[in-house]
């Protein structure tokens, strides 16, 4: 498959938070204030200017106040502009009013992009600048009057920011616009601080009412506040209205200002009429010092405020609160009578379900709903609702359903791919991960969070057709709860001193989880009624450098007892036993092998829906599997980079246990090396499922297998689950036919899926391996399960259960066989895994082939464990050679060792014997540890010139110890072990 570039397909879906991040790209951070010594002293020093400015910002939760640099002469100002970049220049006009005019002209010549504002000391000075209007219009952006309050500086700053960000913010965030039309410097210098204070205070109140929102989100959401745009002429106002009509929140207009180049007593009334003609139901406010204009305001359906009112600030605040959507949402009927009220988004959505039809129509016609939503920063929902008119719906019922659907889809979209705080009503979704407890998610948890986020940001339906890609419904208890559990039950001394795992396990089982976690787990079970898997997620588990794969426990629960208290008890016990699994002998061997202290490990817990369906009292997925993006055992025209997968019917326990599975390359799913005879011999004969007839069991006593049962393949056929997964051996024609109506042996080869592509599993794996190895920057392994029953869009579902990196040492070794002394070759493997050179190992442990008995493999595992323990005590690594699959769970196909039983082996060799399978258990947890810990893994099928074990050389070495099956020999000098991972060739020679 052609590799898809991740940068082209990863399109992170923008939620409101992402939009907030993009708003206000221009921020005023540096201001140059040019004032005489007297003015500077009056404002900057005596008034503790900087402290007050910062205070104004903090009161409005703006967090980042601009920095002021003060200079007193024109020369100093020009020099300052050369040495540093400023966002705004403010000129103080004192007794000398000519100087600011000259300086503004010089600044604009060299820095035309910097806004230049003038601040005059008092109203009487304004007359001078009115007379000089023609001189300053190209050099001074706006004149303000100092009114004794530092709020004017905040207003000047926001005025510049809003003007500069107007176009980008309305396009990217659909931000609302408040249009202020005022030509009096005196009044707009008073109005702007009041408007900004009111808007920001209301925005802050709305955000605070939301409750469950983090501080950074609050800061970002403040950026979505309405823009306040100040203009002073009719023509400029019309331009803003025409360009930003869709975003116009309200118009606040004076009555008398310039129109067609001259003052017009009717320009304000004409402007409001112009707005009303647009039929957008935009609130308008007329303000005038002449109270007679209140009648004129009423005639054009506008509110009125007296400019000279003693309660001007309160009047503006009330207008914003009631008319611009900042207050509670009051549902009214056609006559304006209140029928319901909502204080929050949740209340609003709930009331929307049952308010009378006429109320819904009343608000929909006036765009009242989208206005209210925009005030709350609900940009995505507001934009969706604004696109539609009443006429677009056949009935009010259809309109109501549309509104509710927009709310629901928007909420899910905002949560998608995120880790969200637990609420009982949200656990039944696989679009996000629910956090049941604080702290790190652990290794597996991080992998799942990564998968969840990634899936929600790639449009897989375009890349992989006819199959749904998702993760199961997942909740995670962070590691803080593990610490709480240890502390609450006083377990620190007991668990680290007493190394007896059974005692430790019983201590954990008797312990109590925190009350908060217990409450949440019970609420979780009230919503989640399908079988669940309780899985470990240690800090080191599945991490890049220390894998710890498959060391800890996983408990499957049928979650089917009629009494929720019993289900709750089972879940709580499973969580506690996951915590205890840190102290198993296998885990302790791991910590020793990787030189970590067990005290450093902490445990998160994953609670996850089990993929599958229940049939005849058995619950299991149609397919479970493991896939890796790098294949150390390619054949034919496969390349190592094509990856491989192993799949089986039933629970994934079968696959990760290294039992008989079907192996294939996702890039070449039809390619099959094994003969029909080998396929029949190595075909899956049984599978694992959850026994749904069990609803009472003892996890402490029975462990991980408490409710999993081994079923025969015939059971899967009865359940109808062999349909796409098996073929039948046709004796007459000596071939496999994917037709279960035929009589004959069943061979699990997934022919309908892989050969005839009835379900695009192979293509899905190929795409996923390609994408995720790019995303992780390393070869990867994924665990997955497939539910063939029809789900979303009537397609089967491919569920990703886990992802982990596979570390390969990239030391390039090129083995030149012409330089190798063949007489000193102990081993030559044409199928070798690993990279690099090992030159410190002198010991080899190998099987006495004459004593091999395939029915005694468990005894062999115990024997090698004893030898391994001695090696550990002596801090020696060794080469291990033995027949069949190492680490298999099937004792008839190899030696069923756990990793802890051979943890000091630096090289593992699978040796082929006649009539004994030789196929590395790739895909097992065992094998993941081999690759991640950079252990050499060689396969010698039978002795040929290209691949052999020289037993004659081994028999001549010093015997350190011989038990019944295994012999331990030691060479005088360290062996030279060379591994060429690209060519899969490996050699071991002595000196």
What are residue 232's phi and psi, to 5 degrees?
-130, 0
Q: What is the DSSP string of 3-72?
A: PPPHHHHB-PPP-HHHHHHHS------EEEEE--HHHHIIIIITTTHHHHHHHHHHHTT---PPEEEEE-
At 751-801, the pLDDT tens digits run 999 988 889 999 999 999 998 888 887 888 899 999 998 878 889 999 999
**Number of structural domains found in the chain:** 6
Residue 612 CB contacts under 8 Å (≥ 6 apart), including other chains: 531, 619, 620, 621, 622, 651, 689, 690, 785, 787
Examine the domain organization and report whether 440 and 408 are in the same domain: no
CA dihedral 618, 800, 810, 601 (to 10 degrees): -80
Residues 794 and 840 in one domain: no
The per-residue pLDDT for 607 is 95
Q: What is the pLDDT of residues 376-415, one digit of tens each?
A: 656 667 767 766 677 777 888 888 888 887 777 766 666 6
DSSP label of 86: -
Residue 202 belongs to a domain? yes
Supply the CATH number for residue 758's domain.
3.30.470.20
Entry pTM: 0.61
Nearest 5°: CA angle at 632, between 629 and 634? Answer: 90
In this structure, the answer to whether residues 529 and 645 fall within a common structural domain is no
| The 843-847 sheet, strands edge to edge | 831-833, 936-940, 905-911, 878-883, 843-847, 966-970, 958-962
The distance in angstroms from the start CA to the end CA of the chain is 45
To the nearest 10 degrees (0 to 180), the angle between helices 564-580 and 480-488 is 90
Q: Within this chain, do residues 434 and 295 fall inside the same structural domain, yes or no?
A: no
Same domain membership, residue 321 and residue 469: no
Contact criterion met (CB below 8 Å) for 588 and 500: no
Cα separation of 790 and 540, whole Å?
37
CB-based contacts of 932, cutoff 8 Å, min separation 6: 546, 547, 549, 805, 806, 807
Query: Do 286 and 233 belong to one domain?
Result: yes
In a domain, 812, yes or no: no
The answer to whether residues 568 and 522 touch, using CB atoms and an 8 Å cutoff, is yes
Task: Verify that 451 and 584 share a domain, yes or no.
Answer: yes
**Which CATH number goes with the domain that contains 193?**
3.40.50.2300
Minimal CA–CA distance to 118: which of 134, 109, 98?
A: 98
pLDDT of the residue at 212:
45
Residue 7: inside a domain: no
Q: Which alpha helices (H) appear in 581-712, and where do they start and end? A: 585-593, 653-656, 676-681, 699-702
- Does residue 240 share a domain with residue 117? no
The HSE-up count of residue 142 (CA atoms within 13 Å, CB side) is: 26
Please give the helix or strand (H or E) that residue 235 lies within, else none: helix 234-243
Structural domain boundaries enclosing 783: 618-805
Point out the residues of the chain with pLDDT beneath 50.
13-17, 19-20, 46-48, 56-57, 60-61, 211-218, 220, 544-548, 809-811, 917, 920-924
**Considering the domain boundaries, does residue 161 fall inside one?**
no
* Residue tagged 């061979």 (tokens): 747
* SS3 state of residue 719: coil
pLDDT the model gives residue 285: 94
CATH number for the domain harbouring residue 594: 3.30.1490.20
Last residue of a domain, one of 415, 448, 474: 415
Q: What local confidence, expressed as pLDDT, does residue 374 receive?
A: 67
Does a structural domain hold residue 571?
Answer: yes
Domain closes at, from 753, 780, 805: 805
- Give the domain-ending residue among 582, 604, 626: 604
Q: Are residues 359 and 505 in the same domain?
A: no
Same domain, 578 and 713: no
Of 190, 184, 188, give the one whose Cα is nearest residue 256. Answer: 184
User: Are 201 and 302 part of one and the same domain?
Assistant: yes
Q: What value does the mean pLDDT of the chain take?
A: 82
CB 670 within 8 A of CB 652: no
Q: Please state, in angstroms and rounded to a whole number, the distance separating the CA atoms of residues 855 and 864.
A: 16
* CA–CA dist 182, 256 (Å, integer): 9
Q: Are residues 451 and 496 in the same domain?
A: yes
Helix or strand or coil: residue 727?
A: strand
């Amino acid at each position: 498959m052609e590799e898809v570039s991740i940068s082209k397909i990863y399109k992170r879906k923008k939620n409101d938070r992402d939009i907030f991040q993009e708003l206000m790209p221009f921020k005023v951070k540096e201001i140059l204030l040019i004032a005489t010594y007297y003015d500077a002293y009056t404002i900057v020093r005596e008034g503790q200017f900087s402290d007050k400015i910062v205070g104004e910002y903090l009161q409005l939760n703006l967090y980042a106040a601009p920095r002021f640099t003060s200079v007193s002469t024109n020369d100093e100002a020009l020099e300052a502009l050369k040495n540093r970049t400023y966002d705004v220049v403010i000129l103080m006009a004192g007794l000398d009013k000519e100087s600011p005019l000259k300086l503004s002209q010089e600044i604009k010549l060299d820095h035309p992009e910097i806004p230049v504002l003038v601040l005059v000391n008092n109203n009487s000075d304004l007359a001078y600048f009115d007379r000089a209007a023609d001189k300053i219009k190209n050099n001074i952006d706006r004149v303000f009057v100092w009114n004794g309050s530092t709020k004017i500086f905040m207003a000047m700053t926001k005025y510049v920011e809003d003007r500069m960000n107007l176009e980008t913010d309305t396009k990217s965030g659909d931000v609302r616009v408040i249009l202020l039309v005022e030509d009096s410097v005196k009044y707009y210098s008073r109005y702007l601080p009041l408007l900004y204070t009111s808007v920001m205070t209301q925005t802050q109140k709305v955000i605070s009412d939301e409750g469950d929102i983090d501080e950074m989100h609050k800061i970002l959401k403040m950026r979505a506040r309405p823009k306040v745009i100040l203009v002073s002429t009719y023509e400029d106002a019309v331009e803003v209205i025409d360009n930003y009509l869709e975003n116009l929140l309200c118009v606040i207009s004076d009555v008398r200002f310039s129109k067609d180049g001259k003052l017009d007593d009717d320009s304000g009334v004409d402007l409001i009429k112009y707005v009303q003609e647009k039929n957008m139901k935009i609130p308008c406010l007329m303000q005038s010092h002449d109270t007679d204009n209140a009648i004129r305001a009423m005639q054009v359906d506008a509110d009125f405020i007296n400019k000279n009112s003693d309660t001007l600030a309160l009047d503006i605040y009330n207008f914003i609160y009631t008319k611009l959507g900042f207050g509670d949402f009051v549902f009214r009927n056609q006559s304006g009578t209140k029928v319901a009220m909502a204080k929050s988004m949740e209340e609003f959505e709930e009331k929307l379900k049952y308010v009378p039809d006429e109320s819904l129509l009343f608000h929909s016609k006036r765009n009242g709903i989208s206005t209210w939503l925009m005030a709350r920063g609900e940009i995505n929902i507001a934009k969706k609702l604004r696109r539609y008119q009443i006429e677009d719906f056949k009935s009010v019922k259809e309109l109501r359903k549309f509104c509710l659907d927009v709310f629901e889809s928007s909420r899910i979209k905002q949560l998608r791919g995120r880790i969200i705080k637990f609420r009982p009503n949200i656990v039944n979704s696989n679009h996000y991960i629910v956090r049941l407890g604080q702290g790190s998610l652990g290794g597996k948890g991080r992998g799942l969070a990564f998968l969840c986020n990634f899936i929600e940001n790639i449009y897989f339906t375009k890349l992989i057709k006819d199959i749904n890609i998702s993760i199961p419904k997942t909740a995670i208890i962070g590691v803080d709860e593990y610490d709480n559990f240890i502390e609450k039950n006083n377990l620190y001394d007991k668990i680290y001193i007493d190394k007896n795992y059974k005692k430790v396990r019983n201590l954990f089982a008797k312990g109590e989880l925190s009350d908060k976690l217990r409450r949440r787990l019970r609420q979780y079970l009230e919503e989640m009624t399908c079988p669940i898997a309780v899985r470990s997620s240690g800090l080191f588990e599945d991490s890049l450098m220390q894998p710890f794969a498959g060391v800890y426990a996983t408990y499957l629960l049928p979650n089917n007892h009629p009494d929720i208290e019993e289900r709750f008890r089972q879940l709580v016990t499973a969580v506690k036993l996951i915590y205890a699994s840190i102290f198993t002998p296998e885990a302790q061997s791991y910590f020793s092998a990787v030189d970590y202290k067990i005290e450093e490990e902490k445990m998160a817990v994953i609670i996850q829906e089990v993929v599958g369906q229940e049939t005849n009292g058995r619950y299991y997925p149609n397919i479970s599997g493991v896939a890796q993006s790098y294949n150390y055992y390619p054949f034919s025209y496969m390349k190592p980079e094509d990856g491989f997968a192993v799949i089986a019917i039933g629970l994934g326990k079968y696959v990760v246990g290294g039992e008989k599975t079907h192996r294939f390359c996702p890039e070449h799913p039809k390619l099959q090396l094994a003969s029909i005879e080998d396929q029949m011999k190595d075909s899956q004969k049984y599978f694992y499922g959850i026994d749904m007839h069990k609803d009472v069991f003892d996890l402490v006593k029975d462990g991980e297998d408490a409710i999993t049962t081994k079923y025969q393949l015939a059971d899967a056929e009865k359940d109808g689950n062999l349909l796409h997964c098996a073929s039948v051996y046709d004796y007459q024609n000596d071939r496999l036919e994917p037709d279960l109506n035929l009589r004959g042996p069943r061979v699990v080869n997934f022919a309908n899926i892989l050969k005839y592509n009835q379900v695009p599993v192979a293509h899905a794996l190929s795409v996923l391996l390609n994408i995720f190895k790019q995303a992780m920057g390393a070869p990867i392994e994924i665990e997955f399960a497939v539910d063939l029953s029809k789900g979303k869009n009537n397609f089967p579902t491919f569920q990703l259960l886990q992802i982990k990196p596979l570390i390969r040492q990239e030391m390039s070794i090129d083995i030149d066989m012409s330089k190798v002394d063949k007489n000193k070759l102990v081993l030559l493997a044409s199928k070798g895994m690993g990279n690099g050179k090992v030159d410190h190992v002198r010991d080899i442990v190998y099987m006495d082939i004459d004593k091999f008995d395939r029915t005694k493999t468990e005894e062999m595992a115990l024997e090698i464990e004893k030898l391994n323990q001695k090696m550990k005590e002596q801090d020696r690594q060794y080469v291990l050679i033995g027949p069949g699959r190492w680490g298999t769970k099937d004792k008839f196909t190899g030696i069923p060792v756990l990793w802890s039983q051979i943890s000091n082996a630096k090289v593992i060799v699978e040796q082929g014997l006649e009539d004994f399978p030789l196929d590395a258990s790739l895909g097992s947890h065992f094998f993941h540890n081999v690759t991640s810990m950079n252990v050499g893994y060689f396969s010698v099928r039978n002795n040929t010139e290209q691949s052999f074990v020289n037993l004659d050389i081994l028999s001549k070495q010093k015997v350190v110890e011989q038990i019944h099956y295994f012999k331990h020999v030691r060479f005088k000098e360290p062996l030279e072990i060379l591994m060429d991972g690209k060519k899969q060739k490996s050699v071991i020679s002595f000196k």
